[in-house]
Structures are given as structure tokens and as C-alpha cells.
């Protein structure tokens, strides 16, 4: 079984607002959550579940990822939107969680910060922040 596919940040925001069972799991690192920011889902009255896909600083895979996702309370039948910096880690997480029995795992394409711009910076081309979606600094 393959994951449900990629979804744009705008469509992810729409799904989170319209489907009461849809959940967002941010798979970036603690450092990214603290220093780059987090999506703000207060408008849709949902939490941002935070489960690292890889550890920081070494990038080692999180061996407890699927158990930690289950511990969030997200049900295997819920639509689950996985988000990372630009869409790479979240795609891997969506595929892995699908393999763990979750039926509707989506990768939020473009991620939180999107692709690098001409100056090598993120947050301006694609992604949650560049789309003007709600976010906050922690």
C-alpha cells in the first residue's frame, strides 16, 4: 500500500479546516520548531503534533517514530498530514506511517519553508510560510 500522495500547503490548510478528523504532524526537529517556527492551527482549533522523523544534530532516524505517532492519539483511519522543512522527510514519514497501518497519510509538498531562493534562503518560495498561512514563533 502506498501513501495517499502529496498535497499542497493550501489544500492541507483547507483539509485541516474542513475535516474534523484531519491531523497535522510536524516531523522536523526540536531545533527547527524552536528557531524556525510552527504552523498555527488555533484558527481551526487543532494541535500541531510534533514527532521528529530524524534526530538533531546527527540526523539519525527516530526508531520510535511510529509508536510516537500512535501516542499522539491520531487514529489510523484519520487523514494525517505530514510536514517538514521542504517535503522530503515528511514524504518518508507518510510512507512509513502508511506501512504501519495508517490509511490516509499525506505529504505536505513544499513543507514549512519551501525551496531555496536565488540567495540560498528558505521561506520565500513555496511552503507554508510563503503561502501566508498562519504560523508562530515559539
Q: How many domains does the chain have?
A: 1
> Between the CA atoms of 95, 97, 101 and 104, what dihedral angle is there, to the nearest 10 degrees?
-70
- pLDDT tens for 61-97 read 999 999 999 999 999 999 999 999 999 999 999 999 9
What the block records as the C-alpha cell of 77 is 483511519
User: What per-residue confidence (pLDDT) applies to 49?
Assistant: 98
Can you give the residue range of the structural domain that contains 19? 5-136
CATH classification of the domain holding 84? 3.40.250.10
CA dihedral 23, 24, 25, 31 (to 10 degrees): -150
Q: Which tens digit of pLDDT belongs to each residue from 20-51?
A: 999 999 999 999 999 999 999 999 999 999 99
Residue with cell 516531523: 27
Amino acid at each position: 500500500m502506498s501513501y495517499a500522495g502529496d498535497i499542497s500547503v493550501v489544500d492541507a490548510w483547507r483539509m485541516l479546516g474542513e475535516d474534523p478528523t484531519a491531523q497535522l504532524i510536524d516531523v522536523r526537529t526540536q531545533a527547527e520548531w524552536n528557531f524556525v517556527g510552527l504552523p498555527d492551527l488555533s484558527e481551526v482549533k487543532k494541535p500541531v503534533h510534533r514527532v521528529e522523523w530524524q534526530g538533531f544534530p546527527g540526523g539519525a532516524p527516530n526508531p520510535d517514530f511510529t509508536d510516537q505517532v500512535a501516542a499522539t492519539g491520531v487514529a489510523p483511519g484519520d487523514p494525517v498530514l505530514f510536514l517538514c522543512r521542504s517535503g522530503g522527510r515528511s514524504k518518508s514519514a507518510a510512507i512509513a506511517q502508511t506501512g504501519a497501518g495508517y490509511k490516509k497519510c499525506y505529504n505536505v509538498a513544499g513543507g514549512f519553508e519551501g525551496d531555496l531562493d536565488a540567495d540560498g534562503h528558505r521561506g520565500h518560495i513555496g511552503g507554508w510560510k510563503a503561502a501566508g498561512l498562519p504560523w508562530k514563533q515559539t
